[in-house]
Amino acid sequence: MKIDVMEDFYKLLHPCMTILIVSISREGKLNVMTCAWNMPVSEDPPLIAVAISNESYTNQLIKETGEFTVNIPDEKMLKALWICGSKSGREVDKFKLAKLTTTSSKKIAPPIINECVAHLECRVWREVEAGECTIFISNVLEAYCNQEVFKKGVWDIEKISLPMHLGGKLFAIPTKIMKPP
Ligand SMILES: Cc1cc2nc3c(=O)[nH]c(=O)nc-3n(C[C@H](O)[C@H](O)[C@H](O)COP(=O)(O)O)c2cc1C
């Protein structure tokens, strides 16, 4: 028997890779937010998409300057993920609160988060208004990561625990690699 889960429809598409997005204002003020709705959309040119709520400070800043970094955390950063996903940079300095430090990016103004294991530097290509979110389809200008956890283009999940968002306060970590027969 199937049950109606319309209320939670999007969670049928979880767990989702959970990332930290760093954005910047024209005056140079930084912000960081947790984002589960993210995906690659093209290899050539390299494009990703993130869906960001119109109410968030991050949405305002990305519309303002058109640049952001994607930072990939590990399990140790679960507390930081929660802080950056439940408070707004309009009210608090989440870098201080979540004890996150930054280093300059190679090509864009928003920095990367040192505590994360991988980084993408992104510049917005198209904005699509979709319900309460804006989908920022963005060019990936640079992508780099810690070499010991990503080998031959694949995450080494024995060495890294990647938090995936299940919904609410629940996360899952991939632990088993499989191949089709
Ligand atoms: C695990 C997790 C995933 C989230 N994913 C998204 C997302 O994909 N898009 C979004 O707009 N908000 C998402 N949020 C909520 C924002 O992170 C939250 O509204 C945040 O406070 C916005 O911060 P800002 O106002 O400083 O930009 C998520 C929150 C959590 C905890």
- pLDDT-above-90 percentage for the chain: 100
Radius of gyration of the chain (CA): 16
The per-residue pLDDT for range 113-132, each reduced to its tens digit, is 999 999 999 999 999 999 99
Cα dist. 93→32, 61, 101, 170, 180 in Å?
9, 15, 12, 24, 46
Q: Supply the pLDDT for residue 92.
A: 98
State the average pLDDT over residues 6-15. 98
- Averaged pLDDT for residues 97-105: 98
d(Cα 163, Cα 89) in Å, to the nearest integer?
A: 22
At 160 the pLDDT is 97
pLDDT band at 98, cuts 50/70/90?
Answer: very high
Give the pLDDT of residue 53. Answer: 99
Q: Is the CB–ligand 1 distance for residue 11 below 6 Å?
A: no
36 CB within 6 A, ligand 1:
yes
Average pLDDT taken over every residue of the chain: 98
Which residue's C-alpha comes closest to atom 15 of ligand 1?
85
Ligand 1 atom with least separation from CA of 37: 8
Separation of 143 CA from ligand 1 center, angstroms?
A: 22
How far is 170 from 164, CA to CA, in rounded Å? 9
Verify whether ligand 1 is closer than 6 Å to residue 18 (CB atom): yes
Q: Which of 37, 95, 94, 32 is nearest to 69 (CA)?
A: 32
Looking at residues 97-104, what average pLDDT do you find? 98
> DSSP string of 118-161?
EEEEEEEEEEEEETTEEEEEEEEEEEEE-TTTEETTEE-TTT--
Domain ranges of the chain: 6-146+157-168
Considering the chain, what percentage of its residues have pLDDT values greater than 70? 100
CB atoms within 10 A of CB 37: 19
Question: For residue 23, what is the DSSP state?
Answer: E
How many Å apart are CA 134 and CA 137, to the nearest integer? 9
Query: Is the C-beta atom of 87 inside 6 A of ligand 1?
Result: yes
Which residue is it, tokens 């990561």? 145
What is the per-residue pLDDT for 42? Answer: 98
Q: In angstroms, what is the span from residue 30 Cα to ligand 1's centroid?
A: 16
58 C-beta closer than 6 A to ligand 1: yes
pLDDT of residue 88: 98
CATH topology of domain 6-146+157-168: Pnp Oxidase; Chain A (2.30.110)
Q: Report pLDDT for 61.
A: 98
Q: What pLDDT band is residue 154 in, cutting at 50, 70 and 90?
A: very high
The pLDDT confidence band at residue 60, using thresholds 50, 70 and 90, is: very high
Give the number of the atom of ligand 1 that is nearest the alpha carbon of residue 38.
8
